Amino acid sequence: MNFTTIKMGLFHYQIAIELLSIYIKASAFFGKNKSKKSIKGQKNWQKNLSNLNSDKKTFWIHAASHGEAVMASSMVREILNQKNNQVVMSFFSPSGYDNYNFENKNFHKFYLPFDKKRNSKKIIDFIKPSILIFVKYDLWLNLISECNNRKIPSLVFSSKFRKNHWYFNMLGKSAKKILQSMSLILTADHSSEEILEKNGFSNFKYSGDTRFDTFNEVESNLVLDIKSPCVILGSSWEKEEKITAEIIKKIDNVNWIITPHEIKENKILKTKKLFGNEALLYSKIDLKKPIPKVLIVDQIGILADLYNYSDIAFIGGGFSGKLHNILEAAAKGNFLLFGPNIDKYPEANLMLKEEIAETIHDSKDLKNIISKLIGNKAELEKKKKKAKEIIKENKGATEIVWNEIQKLV
């Protein structure tokens, strides 16, 4: 593999990184808080890693944001079960860095500076990783290339590839060579395997999706009094909320829980106005009494617990192509509903194939499907039970990934 040729061919990638750097610096200058946090974090990355132990074996995991970090939690646990190991987890997104924590003295997190060649060399010199591990995507090409130069193994797990991925077109030619030089690509689905094989890759293997391993039977501290069948909107966007508001008065004896994707005050007030006077905020109700017909959740961190009380989950993001986590709802025994833009989410297609999910196009679809489901309680319970079983059947990816990591280090 001629890495000099590869580096010269990464011109478009380097330009994209420079443009991203300029954009974030400009938006920080004009007051965007997220960009300010990102720039400050990148400047202080060495300070965040000041407690690294040079005598321990270092596993470097890169997670794009909070969701990917959660996917890696079971892997972090496996690594830290061995006393001589430590984990450094890098983030580019402030939402990931701020919201993900793993309580262990051998776990360290930091903001990852832009993927420039000089940054890659400096960071690797400082961390001295035994392996570089990516979660799902956000593959930093200069980092991978520098690890290759130093004979440091690199791996990505729970990865998904599409036919139209930029790696597989003319502009991605050099990027593709770098990915082909990685130690191992572990895929979340079999279609990604087929795509990689067709594009000349040999360094891949199916492992499954580690997200299935993150759901355990844990008792919730949250207690709600719900008398009727319950439909929850999980991390809902405006589209899901709008079509739900159109049908609420047309379906009797159903409790509705609305958990907006954004919990900002102005967004919550707008949502409350949409659902009318019978909608109450979670922060204002007496939890010892039955919940109102429409409950709007204005508190973060309780969605997973709320899924314990719902029967049907209408998951946000399916209309915009940014589908929220459906596995969390399925693990708690919910029948799933989501918008039609799900091409990037093989888990959604799995649930449709197993007949424990339906796609929603409009309020008519939503009304008909919910009415049919709550009209046949025995059938709904059967599907809820099957949703839990599907999650259990697909567990095991963490063990496969961990075994492959151990072979490399």
Closest C-alpha to 139, from 177, 195, 96: 177
| pLDDT score at 1 | 39
Q: Is the pLDDT of residue 182 over 90?
A: yes
| pLDDT score at 297 | 96
Q: Which domains does the chain possess?
A: 3-209+396-408 (3.40.50.11720), 230-393 (3.40.50.2000)
Tokens 């399916």 belong to residue: 318
Half-sphere exposure of 108 (CA within 13 A, CB side): 22
| pLDDT score at 9 | 53
pLDDT tens per residue, range 38-84: 899 899 999 999 999 999 999 999 999 888 998 999 999 999 999 99
Split at pLDDT 50, 70, 90, the class of 6 is very low
- Report which residue type is found at 381: E
**Cα 8 to Cα 31: distance, rounded to the nearest angstrom:** 36
Residue 343: Cβ within 10 Å count: 12
**Cα 86 to Cα 76: distance, rounded to the nearest angstrom:** 9
- Percent of the chain at pLDDT exceeding 90: 76
List phi, psi (to 5°) of 76. -60, -40
**Cα 109 to Cα 398: distance, rounded to the nearest angstrom:** 21
| pLDDT score at 311 | 97
Give the DSSP letter of residue 169.
S
Q: Is the pLDDT of residue 217 over 70?
A: no
| pLDDT score at 2 | 38
**Cα 22 to Cα 260: distance, rounded to the nearest angstrom:** 32
| pLDDT score at 219 | 62
Mean pLDDT value across residues 261-276? 92
pTM for the structure as a whole: 0.83
Mean pLDDT value across residues 151-156? 98
